[in-house]
Amino acid sequence: MLDLFNFSMLIPNAARERGKGEAAARAAAQLLDVARRDDVHVLEKLDAVPDGLGADAVEKRLEEFGPNIVAQEKKKPVLLQLLERFITNPINILLTVLAVITWATGSELSDKIGAIIMFAMVVMAVFVAHFQEARSSRAVEQLRRMVSNTATVRREVEEPEEGADEDAPPRRVAKKLEVPIDGLVPGDIVYLSAGDMVPADLRLLHAKDLFINQAALTGESMPVEKFAAADSDAKTALEARCLCFMGSNVVSGSATGVIAATGAGTYFGALAGSLVGQRVETSFDKGVSRFAWLMLRFMAVMVPVVFLINGVTKHDWFEAFMFAVAVAVGLTPEMLPMIVAINLAKGALKMARKDVIVKRLNAIQNFGAIDVLCTDKTGTLTQDRVILERHTDIRGDEDDAVLDFAWLNSFHQTGLKNLLDVAVLEGASAQTAARLHATYALVDEVPFDFSRRRMSVVVRDESGRHFLISKGAVAETVAVCGHARDAGESVPMTPEKLAEVRAVSRDMNDDGFRVLALGVREIEVKPSYSRDDEKDLTLLGFIAFLDPPKDSAADAIAALNANGVAVKILTGDNDVVTRNVCRQVGITVENFLTGPKVEAMGDEELTVATRTTQVFARLNPQQKVRVIQALHRDGHVVGFLGDGINDGPALRAADVGISVDTAVDIAKESADIILLEKSLMVLEEGVIEGRKVFGNVLKYIKMTASSNFGNMFSMIGASALLPFLPMMPVQVLLNNLMYDFSQTAVASDEVDAEYLAKPRQWDLKAIARFMVCIGPISSIFDYCTFAFMWFVLGASADARLFQTGWFVESLLSQTLIVHIIRTGRIPFLQSRASLPLTVTSTAICLAGMVLPFSPIASWFGFVPLPGIYWLFLAAVIVVYMGLTQFVKSLMIRRFGVL
């Protein structure tokens, strides 16, 4: 929402956030208790039965625990959203009050028209922002695809006995059913198979070759092995190997589990609850709010001064009051909400064409303002998939024979193939695969188990020889190898050779690889084989896997750095893997911190550490938030790019939260911006677009502030010196409306390249300096106009002539000066306004020149102006623009880019 000042931000929410954190801790503690119990006691605790729950039990538990859905943003009714936009914006409130006063006290038709115009501006600004953001939000709704619609459960159902009478009572039988996930309850028995999303928090009762991807919860890129036995050694719920969590998915294998928690009671749901509260106030919110209050304070001083001067000198306090009301409107940047909304909407539409969904309009500007982008690693910088990167001998040199035997092992295993097996199969060429498939046949296999942490196959070649090929964890596989193949020869696995082998494996681990070892031996022919045959193998070498960076990651980071945005990694994964990814994408890692070290630091110590640290690894969600808060304390505008449930709080804490196309639902819910394109280069485009939006908004603010400041000097002087009002109230309103209309096209204007070169933030001192330096220049020429009208045209006896002359001069000068102020370069020669801005400013100038001669001139108190006036006006405008350009150039040399 576009809030120029959000009063709800004043309400403390620490207690609310503390409550949510306690809920997450309670959920984790309950799950850990379930993990440590054996199957019988688990079923007793959850009041579950092996055959599944009956319909009555399910209905009662749905009433008790509620539907199995996680927290989402609660949508407010449209009328409430519109009302909130209105009441949280002081400019809207002020304009409405002034419109009501003008309508109630004004007796002329022009007063009524002025009141309607002011109120129409408010309505337009509110509706433009609301409907643009509503359109983006509707698009986001279509992205909720993470949680599957149904789950397979075992439940007790009633069905008639075969051959029994119709009146006979039905029998109760256990059946597999497909039910909507929101209908699951604690105690349900659920079946899992490869590709399933885990629909709730489960305690496994049976598992076969089960691998779970819980990267969305922990940031780990590799699948985690799960088994059914109680895990009494687990220190945290996420470490328990017998628990599966909502938000994770089955990579391979199958399992049966009992639901321990659903909905908000799950680990996923408890954490999600911390994501749907009040967002932090962003730098854009704060900047616009501060500017609004600056103008209000300025107006609070100037308007009473104008009112008193006119009341005392003219002796008509009602007329002085109406004039003061008009001046108040003139000082109020009443079009600011609309100008900001138009700029942001235009930016959002541009980003939509690049397949980027903008959920919150002001996120566009925040995108451009960020000078630090914090990003998760898994699924954002990396592809969140495993590839075979290396296949080496025991010295670490590439060896095709290692790939051949690894392919045979992965291809011939009969169980469900995990991501590592798929990577091995994809790593071999089609010709290699065809050759091996034709040469070797499967004889037997020794399946994987968690005690051995390896699996073996026995194959037969064309000559009838049998080979046992074992692939698995390095330590467990090397332990059954009595020899190693070194330089083509089999050598004993001496302690010295073992040390060399471990060093090669460790080096690859240090480079961020997931490493498996490969052993083989020719084995005698026999009817079947077992784990007892896995001995005296010859270690061939290693296969190493990576979760590779996205193709566009390195270019995107380089582009961000070139545009003044530093990139820091905040991940739940380990620092070794993370630093390796950083090297691949061009991030220089001079210092890194891990979660435990971050936890031990105080706020100030962490703030200092963030200045020189590029990688923060093994972080939990709250630690990610602490790092972002530390960067905020250090004056940075922070963006966060993430895709998992563990990234949700950080997405909320950042000035702009960015998620990607593959993100979990809650991450998308938390994000301000969602990237649908695979390429991360859209990040640079978003940053530049955000800076354009901010640059054009700032153009309007600087032009309006300086114009209003100059007009006040003119108003005060004219009110004190003239025997009549320098301009009628309706003329002040019309002047303001016409000028503001000319600025509606500023969103289409281009922004200087040097302005886009680095992040831009709100700088009220710079705005005030611009206002003070540029504003009074217009007053010089206003007073020249006063003198010309008084002494040359004899307007001392004709108030309407004086008022018409100043109206036209004021309108044309402040409308045309836009072309000087809009750029730091030389206007018309080095930089030209966009066609829409040129058209609107020209049209308003022509309209202002025609008005005194039009049939409606009398409605506003205008009279025709003599020919000599137009010659004088042309000279005034030329000199005014030249002097402003000179002062602007001096300011640029002194203070840099405007």
Q: Which residues are catalytic?
A: 376
Dist CA 749 CA 759 (whole Å): 19
Dist CA 166 CA 175 (whole Å): 22
For residue 455, list its beta bridge partners.
471
> 310 with 716: CB under 8 angstroms?
no
Dist CA 587 CA 577 (whole Å): 13
Q: Which of 735, 748, 702 is nearest to 861 (CA)?
A: 735
Q: What are phi and psi of 221, to 5 degrees?
A: -80, -25
3-state SS class at 220: coil
Dist CA 203 CA 180 (whole Å): 20
3-state SS class at 294: helix
> 472 with 516: CB under 8 angstroms?
yes
Q: Would you mind telling me the total number of residues written for the chain in this entry?
A: 898
Sequence-distant (6+) residues with CB within 8 A of 405 are 469, 518, 520, 540
Dist CA 535 CA 518 (whole Å): 13
Tell me how far apart the 2 most distant CA atoms of the chain are, in Å. 123
**Alpha-helical runs (H) found in 332-418:** 336-353, 363-369, 400-412
Q: Which helix (H) or strand (E) holds 328?
A: helix 317-331
Contacts 24+ apart (CB under 8 A), 317-322: 318/105, 319/725, 321/105, 322/102, 322/105, 322/106, 322/111, 322/729
**Torsion angle of the four alpha carbons 53, 59, 64, 69, in this order, in degrees rounded to the nearest 10:** 90
> 357 with 136: CB under 8 angstroms?
yes
- Residue whose tokens read 């541009």: 350
Q: How many CB atoms within 10 Å of residue 176? A: 11
Sequence-distant (6+) residues with CB within 8 A of 538 are 481, 482, 483, 484, 485, 490, 519, 520, 521
For residue 570, list its beta bridge partners.
616
For residue 112, list its beta bridge partners.
none
> 608 with 620: CB under 8 angstroms?
no
Query: How far lies 556's CA from each of 17, 252, 380, 581, 592, in Å?
Result: 35, 33, 12, 14, 22
What is residue 834's DSSP assignment? -
> 616 with 357: CB under 8 angstroms?
no
3-state SS class at 82: helix
> 849 with 808: CB under 8 angstroms?
yes
**Alpha-helical runs (H) found in 36-172:** 39-45, 55-65, 78-87, 90-105, 109-141
Q: What are phi and psi of 255, to 5 degrees?
A: -165, 160
> 215 with 164: CB under 8 angstroms?
no
Q: Which two tokens stand for residue 367?
A: 């995108």
Query: How far lies 342's CA from each of 125, 345, 364, 694, in Å?
Result: 9, 5, 12, 12
DSSP per residue, 673-684: EEE-SS-TTHHH
Start-to-end Cα distance in the chain: 28
For residue 489, list its beta bridge partners.
486
Dist CA 538 CA 405 (whole Å): 12
Query: How far lies 528's CA from each of 409, 410, 460, 469, in Å?
Result: 17, 19, 13, 15
Tell me how far the alpha carbon of residue 379 is from its chain's centroid.
Answer: 14
